[in-house]
Amino acid sequence: MSPPSPGGGSRPRGRPRDPEADAAILRAAMDLFIEGGVEGTSIEQVAKRAGVGKLTVYRRWSSKEEVIAQAIESVRVEAVGFEMRADVPLREQIESAIPVWAQALSSPRVRAMVARVFGSAARHPALMASYWEHHVVPRRKAIRALLEHAKATGALSEDTVVEVLIDMVVGAVMFRLLQPEPLDAEGARRYLEAVYRQAGLLPDPTAGG
């Protein structure tokens, strides 16, 4: 599922968007967010670091919370590399995706970003609200549909509570990212495989058959 346009609204009329400027703005916003959190980030600083005018940023996003939220999503998309698909068996997608997810789980930049996001949750609810509305909700809806299909086809137990299953998997990964001892890519792969086996989304290799 493609993410919504930055800011969650329709694009203003005028000159076409410059993808390079968008990328520079999002990189600058993420760098500033990691360095100083929401307090250490402003539209002016983002524009200066990205090498664009302040109005260029404001044409795309109406607040620093919106540009940070889009920057968070851009890091997630870059780290994960793809979105889940409805036309491919769920187990097959998970098995092929785990090496990519393991690289993200072991990335210092991703770890630093997640720590900042959690640290900003209470003090900056506007940031969390923007990220949740424009990015988490659409993605969660798509994942829910995949899991419901897996239930309907027998790939998951019929008594699976899909919302709880999503929370369990995401919560386990987020908690591991916040722990002080980082995993390398191989350790992250083994951890993710264990999480998905416990969740019933991957087979137990020790089981017969």
pLDDT > 50? residue 112? yes
- pLDDT score, position 208: 55
115 lies in a domain? yes
pTM (2 decimals)? 0.79
Cα separation of the two ends of the chain: 35
Residue 41 maps to which CATH number?
1.10.10.60
Structural domain harbouring 100: 69-198
**pLDDT at site 161:** 95
CATH number at residue 125: 1.10.357.10
CB 202 within 8 A of CB 91: yes
Domain check: are 111 and 38 in the same one?
A: no
Query: What is the per-residue DSSP string for the chain?
Result: -PPPPGGGSPPPSSSPP-HHHHHHHHHHHHHHHHHHTTTT--HHHHHHHHTS-HHHHHHH-SSHHHHHHHHHHHHHHHHH-S---TTS-HHHHHHHHHHHHHHHHT-HHHHHHHHHHHHHTTT-HHHHHHHIIIIIHHHHHHHHHHHHHHHHTTSS-TT--HHHHHHHHHHHHHHHHHSSS---HHHHHHHHHHHHHHTTSS--TTS--
Yes or no: say if 70 and 47 are a contact pair by the CB < 8 Å rule.
no
pLDDT given for residue 8 in this prediction = 44
Verify that 180 and 95 share a domain, yes or no: yes
Based on the structure, what is the number of domains in the chain?
2
Decide if 13 is inside a domain.
no
Give residue for tokens 């690289």: 103
Predicted pLDDT of residue 183: 94
For the cut 80, the answer to whether the pLDDT of residue 2 exceeds it is no
